[in-house]
Chains A and B, each alone.
Chain A
Amino acid sequence: MAGRFFATVNCYPHDTGANQPRLRIRLFNVAKEQWPEDLIVPIDTGFSGAVMLPSSSYDFFMIGELPRKLWKDYRTMTGPLQMRVARALVETEQASIETIVETPLAGAGKLLIGRAILKDLAVLLDGPAKLSCLMKPHDEAHGD
């Protein structure tokens, strides 16, 4: 299989407490209003969704919510979890992704990105250096 080369766009340190990999993102609601600050967001490969938000942050996105009957539910190890769902735009230093943000219908929620975002990005998890790096394809394949 041919090798592939990537160049580093930027790297972000893992969370110091949980040693969890993270990426920087910028969020916009459907009115193209930007969330006031860039976010360094934990990556959770066990989460099949896109972006989960704390319920307090989700309010900013409620001007583009999906109908309640289309809100998403998740299978978790502790039982089903019902979410609220709104349209949003996620920007990284490498891509702009039209997606959804979610927060639990009951409970506080938390900030993380899941596989529905990762599928659009090239990310290097450098465990020994405790860094997560956003990558971009550098050249066409080399090798055998």
Chain B
Amino acid sequence: MLTETDRDNEFYESEEAELETQYKGRYVLISGARLVGVFDSIEAAGKAIRSLSPRPTHAILTKMGQDERMSGEWLAGSLQR
């Protein structure tokens, strides 16, 4: 059974090329497997999330063309505790 996370990501992946072309550099908000809106600031996107009814438990918020996959390191420290 698909979760909200799965559905939102399926929508994003199917529309990614188009979103990138149209909204590069802007914040894209996806929830309920649909495009909720496109915003110039994270504050405006946050306001849009607060206005959603019913309130979703999951949404994707990404800055098109600027967010990228990252890698990091987690050495010892807390890893063992």
Q: Show the binding face of A for B, using Cβ within 8 Å.
A: 18, 20, 30-33, 42, 44-49, 59, 62-78, 81, 87, 98, 110, 112, 114
Contact = CB atoms under 8 A, between A and B. Distances in A.
- Rank and list the top 10 A-B pairs by shortest CB-CB distance, nearest first: A46-B77, A46-B75, A48-B72, A44-B77, A44-B78, A31-B49, A64-B61, A68-B9, A74-B74, A63-B59
Interface string B41-81: 01101100110000011111110000111111111111101
A63 B58 contact: yes
What band does the interface of chain B fall in when counting residues whose beta carbon is under 8 Å from A? 20 to 34
Contact of A30 (B9, B45, B67, B73): B45
Contacts of B70: 70, 72
Contacts of A48: 72-74
A30 B42 contact: yes
Given A63-B59, A66-B67, 4 more contacts: A30-B46, A47-B75, A72-B70, A98-B42
B78 A67 contact: no
